[in-house]
Structure 1
Amino acid sequence: MNEKLKTIKIIHFGICAGVIVAYYVLGNWSSTKIFELPEINQNSILYLLVPIGAYLLSNFLFKSQLKSAELKPKLEDNMAIYQTAAIVRWAILEGAAFIILILKEDFILFGILIVFYLILLHPTKERIIKELNHKAL
């Protein structure tokens, strides 16, 4: 179990580190407008929907993959299922963060929120047990 948990933690760290480095390198940090809410009009409403849609879609796909999988009684046997679902969830959030960073840098605050949420999704044994609805053995 510990090896599989270590693997998924390394994958999560790599995804988070990649997004953080990209935001550090590509973000316009000299501007003070980063933490101001941008003006939202008809042309920019789509970019506001990107983080909302990414959050909803990633959680929906994560939960549906866990439900549709044939869960086994042992937690270790379900790690591959959980790992696949988690990577899909993280990839959608990572993609949304990159879309905001590259296409509409005015909305970088929303991208930072996505990155922060992505960091909060770090895998732990307790979280995996809870999300797979297993009893601690």
Structure 2
Amino acid sequence: MFFKTLNIIHVFLVLGLAALGAASFFFGVGFVNQFSMSGDVYIYIIPTLALLGYFTSNYIFRKQLSTIDRKESLQSKQAKYQSAVILKYAFIEGPALFAFMQFMNQGYTLYFTIGACLTIYLASLKPSKSKVVEELQLNNKEQEELK
């Protein structure tokens, strides 16, 4: 049930971003050929948010994993791992949503590219049993329980 829940959350987050990206592509103002940086503060905000989201997600994820005691029960470890993974996904999803929304409004290709790259990165974070075993450093007994 643990992996099923993680996979469902992951799939819906990725599909949601992909749907928003497609909607912004087809129903937005279109790609703008004439790019002007004057008066557009989002040209600085969106890349900064994307970088902050990426680095913050990894930092907080590692920090939360380090607080998990190896002597805790498997269910407790799974619950903490699940909350850490969801928080990691949220820090990636937020800037991607913002980038797609700004692309829909302004049409700058950079915004769409950043949103698409963050979506692809989020898709690459698909949870798996081997990742959980490695990241939680589960012993043999816990690995058997997990299966």
TM-score by length of 2: 0.76
Structure 2 residue aligned with 1:15? 13
Partner Cα separation in structure 2 for residue 47 and residue 97 of structure 1: 9
CA–CA separation in structure 1 for the residues paired with 2:57 and 2:73:
26
Structure 2: stretches of 5+ with no match in the other structure: none
What's 1:102 paired with?
Answer: 101
The answer as to whether partners of 2:18 and 2:119 remain within 8 angstroms in 1 is: yes
Residues 88-124 of structure 1: CA distance to partner in whole angstroms, max 9, x if unpaired? 0001111110111113552211111100000000000
Q: State the identity %.
A: 23
Equivalent position of 1:86 in the other structure: 85
Q: How many residues align?
A: 132
User: Where in structure 2 are the equivalents of 1:1-137 lying within 5 Å?
Assistant: 3-28=1-26, 43=41, 44-72=43-71, 75-104=74-103, 105-106=107-108, 107-136=111-140, 137=143
The aligned amino acid for 2:6 is I
Letter in 1 for 2:20: A
Change (3 A) 1:40 1:81: farther
Return the index of the structure with the highest Cα Rg: 2
User: Structure 1 residues 39, 122: closer, same or farther in 2, change over 3 A?
Assistant: farther
